[in-house]
Amino acid sequence: MENLGSYFIFIGGLFGFTIICVLIFVLMSKTEHLHQLQAALYKMKRSFNELDEQAKLIVKTDLELNKSQEESAKRLNALDALQKASRLISTTLDENEIFHRLEQSLITKLGFEKSIVLIYDEVKKLQKKVSWGFSDDDIQFIIGDIEKDSSLTLSLAQGHTFSSVKAPLQRRETINRLFNVEHFVLTPILTKNGIIGLVFVGNRSNAAPITEGDEELVSILANQIGQSLENARLFEEVFRSSQVLESKVQDRTKQLASALEEVQTVSKTKTEFISAVSHELRTPLTSIKGYASLLMTGKLGNIPDQVRDRLEKINTHSDNLVKLINDLLDIARIESGRVEMTMRKVQLAHMIENVRDLLTPQIRDKNLQWELEIDPQLPEVELDSSQFERVFINLIGNAIKFTPEKGAITIKAAHDNGWINIEISDTGIGISEEDMDRLFEEFYRVENPINQKVKGTGLGLSLAKKIVEAHNGKIWITSKLNQGTTFHFTIPVKQPGHDEKR
C-alpha cells in the first residue's frame, strides 16, 4: 500500500514535472514570440515615424512649391496685367484717357484693393487722377500729409520707391497709417524733367501681401505712366502749335485768295477795258488811215510834197497803231478765253520755212546765217497754225532785230516723249538777268540802243507766251549779254482732250 502510494506520488510528481517543463517551454516560446512581436512592432513604429518624417518633408516641399507656384502665377498675372495696362495707356495721347484706362487696369487687372495716382499740377500741388478704395476726404488728407512730409517727397523726387517689403520700419508704419493698409507700394512717376506724380497701391488684407515682384511691377507701371504722360503732353504741345500754324496758314490763304480774287477782278477789268478801248480805237483809225491813203492818191487834188510826207507818217503811225491794237486785242481774247483755237496737225518744218520766207528780206539785209536743226522724224503737231505762226514770227523777228550783221540764227526742233522742244537762238546782244524776269510782261521793253532806234509795242513776247500757254506749252528764255539769246518753248504733240482734225 505504502509502495503503491509512493508509486502514485512518483507518477504524480513526474507528471507535474512534465507539465511544468511543458509550461516553461511554452512560456519561453511565447516570450520569444512576444519579443519577436515587440521587435516587429518597434520596426513598424519606426517605419511609421520614418514615414511621418517623410510626410513632413513632403509637406514642407509641397508648401514651398505652392508658395513659389503662387508667386510665379502672381508674377505671370502681374506681367500680363502690366503688359495690357502698358499697351492701353501707351496707345492714347489723351492725358485724360490715359488716366481713365489706368483706372480700369489698376482695378481690374492688377488686383490691388486700394490705389491712387496723384499728379502735380502747374503750381506743384498734387491732384488726384485715379483712386480706388479711398473717399475724397481720405485723399485730401493723404495729399496734405504727403506734401507736409518733406523727407518723403524729397526721397520720392530722387526716385526712391517705398514698399511694405523693403521700406524702413518707421517709414512703413507711417505709410501704413496714412493709407490705412497693411501692404503697399508707393513709387514716383518720373520723366526726364523729374517727378510729375505718385502711384500708390495697397492691400489691407494679410491674405494678399505685397511682394518684391509687386514692387517691381508698380515701379515699371509708374515709368510707363511717366512716358505715356510725357508723350501725351508733347503731342498736346505739338498739336497746339500745329493748330496755331494751321490757323495762320488758313488766315494767310484767305488773304491770298482774297488778293488773288482782287487781282483777277482787276485783270479781267483790264482785259475788258483793253478790248473795249481797242475796238473803239480801231474804227476811227481805219477811217484816218483810209482818208490819209485817199489824200495820198491825189484823187482829191494834188498835194504838196511836205503834206505828202506828213500823210505818209500818218499812214505809217496808223499802221503801227493798228498792229498795237490788234496785238492788244489778241492778248485780251486769249486771256479771257474768247479765242477758240482751231487745232490741226501741222508740220512744224513747213511752218518755220513759211516764216523764213516772210522774213527773208530782213535776214538778207543783215546778212544773217540761217541754221535749221529739225529732227527729220519730228511728228506732226496739233496746233492752231495761224496763231502759232505769230509765235515764230515774233521770236525770229526779235532774233533778227537784236542780232548784228553777219550773225546767226539757229532754229532747233526735237521730239521728246510726246513733247516738241523748240529753240530759237541768236548771236545777238543778249539780255540781262533783271530784264529776263520781266521780258514777258506786257509793254515791257528792254532798254538798249536797238530798242531806242526801232520802235515796238512791247506786246510781241507777251502775245507769244499767251499763245504757247494756250497750246498747253511753256516758254522761257536763256541769255548772256553780248553772246546771244535762246527762246525755248515746248508744246505737246497732241493737245489733251482734243479730237484729231485735218
Residue 70: CA count within 13 A, CB half-sphere:
11
Cell triple for 258 = 482774297
Beta strands in 133-212 (DSSP E): 162-163, 183-191, 194-203
Q: Which is nearer to other proteins, 52 or 261 (CB)?
A: 52
Distance CA 50, CA 215 (A): 42
Q: Which is nearer to other proteins, 29 or 83 (CB)?
A: 83
Distance CA 92, CA 236 (A): 12
Nearest distance, CB of residue 51 and other proteins, angstroms: 6
Nearest distance, CB of residue 207 and other proteins, angstroms: 4
Alpha helices in 191-211 (DSSP H): none
Nearest distance, CB of residue 251 and other proteins, angstroms: 46
Q: Which is nearer to other proteins, 206 or 302 (CB)?
A: 206
Nearest distance, CB of residue 238 and other proteins, angstroms: 32
Q: Which is nearer to other proteins, 204 or 323 (CB)?
A: 204
Q: Which is nearer to other proteins, 56 or 248 (CB)?
A: 56
Which residues lie closer than 8 Å to 183 by C-beta, 6 or more apart? 164, 202, 203, 206, 208, 209, 210
Nearest distance, CB of residue 205 and other proteins, angstroms: 4
Cell triple for 205 = 488684407
Rounded to a whole number, what is the distance in angstroms from the first to the last CA of the chain?
183
Nearest distance, CB of residue 62 and other proteins, angstroms: 6
CA-based nearest residue to 436, from 477, 391, 394, 395: 477
Q: Which is nearer to other proteins, 61 or 243 (CB)?
A: 61
CA-based nearest residue to 418, from 389, 464, 388, 382: 382
Q: Which is nearer to other proteins, 71 or 371 (CB)?
A: 71
Binding site for other proteins (CB under 8 A): 48-49, 51-52, 55-56, 58-60, 62-63, 66, 69-70, 73, 76-77, 103-104, 107-108, 111, 204-209
Q: Which is nearer to other proteins, 66 or 158 (CB)?
A: 66
Distance CA 249, CA 252 (A): 5
Q: Which is nearer to other proteins, 56 or 350 (CB)?
A: 56
Nearest distance, CB of residue 80 and other proteins, angstroms: 10
Asked if 125 and 140 touch (Cβ cutoff 8 Å), the reply is no
Q: Which is nearer to other proteins, 214 or 426 (CB)?
A: 214
Q: Interior CA angle at 143 toward 140 and 146, to 5°?
A: 150
Asked if 347 and 385 touch (Cβ cutoff 8 Å), the reply is no
Nearest distance, CB of residue 118 and other proteins, angstroms: 20
Asked if 96 and 233 touch (Cβ cutoff 8 Å), the reply is no
Task: List the beta bridge partners of residue 187.
Answer: 199
Nearest distance, CB of residue 73 and other proteins, angstroms: 4
Identity (one letter) of the amino acid at 241? S
Nearest distance, CB of residue 59 and other proteins, angstroms: 5
Nearest distance, CB of residue 108 and other proteins, angstroms: 6
Q: Which is nearer to other proteins, 101 or 289 (CB)?
A: 101
Nearest distance, CB of residue 128 and other proteins, angstroms: 17
Which residues lie closer than 8 Å to 140 by C-beta, 6 or more apart? none
| Cβ atoms < 10 Å from Cβ of 361 | 9
- DSSP states along 354-396: HHHHHHHHHHHHTT-EEEEEE-TTPPPEEE-HHHHHHHHHHHH
Q: Which is nearer to other proteins, 6 or 205 (CB)?
A: 205
Asked if 134 and 162 touch (Cβ cutoff 8 Å), the reply is no
Q: Which region holds residue 443: left if phi is over 0, alpha if psi is between -120 and 50, else beta?
A: left
Which residues lie closer than 8 Å to 268 by C-beta, 6 or more apart? 336
